[in-house]
Structure formats: C-alpha cells, structure tokens
Amino acid sequence: MQKNNTPIRAAIIGLGRLGSRHARHLVEKIQGVDLVAACALEDDQLQWAHDELGVETTYKDYKEMIDKENIDTIFIVAPTPFHPEMTIYAMNAGLNVFCEKPLGLDFDEVAEMAKVIKEHPKQIFQSGFMRRYDESYRYAKKIVDEGGIGDIIYMRGYGIDPISGMESFTKFAT
C-alpha cells in the first residue's frame, strides 16, 4: 500500500512461464497491489490475464502500456535481451521497476541501465534474484563472511524448475 492506503497500481511485461507466475502472485498473494495492465506478444497469454486474473487492459506494445496507463510500478518478466531497454524506458517514465534476472546479455546495455537507475534515486529498482532470501544461501554467505571456509575461487549453483511450464521455456530457448 502507498502512504494514502490506496493500492499500488502495477503492470507486467511478459506472461510466459515466469511472468504468468508473477502475475498470479500479484493478483492472489500480494496485498495492496492491483494488477491493472499486462503486456505480452501472444494473444492467448493476454486472454488468460484477462479471463483468469481479471486484468482489464492488455497490450502488445510495452511503451504504449507505460505511456497510457496510470501505474506506479512495473514488473519486467520479458525475455532477457529486452530487460535493459524496458527498464530504461520505465525508469525514465517515473515508474518503480522490478526486473527479473538476468539484467541483460550485453554488458554495455546493463551498464547504461545501471546509470539510468542511479539517475532516479527516488524510484525503487529491484532485481528478481530470489536466492538472496533462501535460508541455505544466507547461511552459506554467513560462513563465507566469517572466513569459515577460506577464500572462494569458484562457485557453481543449480536450481531445478518444476516441469510444468517448460514448454514456454523451450520455445524461448530456441
């Protein structure tokens, strides 16, 4: 909720495997947020957002959505190569931004994204790196910070996604 107890008006870009999960959570599990608009390229995804989640307005062009909608924040869950340009556009439009990881694929684009984020210190930017809240990761970081295992020279982490929804991931991966 905002200071005046009105719900935060949110929009989302991307309704694929992860985007649809974020959208459902925004509607069903997060208090004080109204998901008022959604953007995706697939008609069936937009129809799903309208029919299943009650999202009133849908778009295929994220810039049009940002320019037309009265929103406070945007969730960027589009394919990774578009994260920097979408974040820059949203930050410059005065929105708070949640952007899924990774932030981008091109270092220079991500550096430009970081520069623009820093130019808007009153807006909130958060990256979707959920492992920072995992108890096991926090415990491992504590051990490392305390010098409990020596210097780290290499680390590798794995996550296992549920099998449901993988068809959208494999479609994107090609």
- Mean pLDDT estimate for the chain: 90
Task: Please write the tens of the pLDDT for every residue from 104-124.
Answer: 999 999 999 999 999 999 999
Residue 125: closest CA among 137, 140, 115:
115
Q: Which residues contact 88 (CB under 8 A, 6 or more apart)?
A: 112, 113, 116
Mean pLDDT, range 16-40, rounded to an integer: 96
ω before 81 within 30° of 0 (cis)?
Answer: no
Which of 150 and 29 is assigned the larger pLDDT?
29
CA distance 99 to 83: 7
Q: pTM (2 decimals)?
A: 0.80
| 24 neighbors 49 (Cβ within 8 angstroms) | no
| 123 neighbors 91 (Cβ within 8 angstroms) | yes
Mean pLDDT, range 23-47, rounded to an integer: 97
What is the signed CA dihedral for 8, 118, 77, 46, rounded to 10 degrees? 50
| 36 neighbors 71 (Cβ within 8 angstroms) | yes
Is residue 164 very low, low, confident or very high in pLDDT (cuts 50, 70, 90)? low
**Is residue 171 over pLDDT 80?**
no
Task: Please write the tens of the pLDDT for every residue from 120-158.
Answer: 999 999 998 777 778 888 898 899 999 998 888 887 777
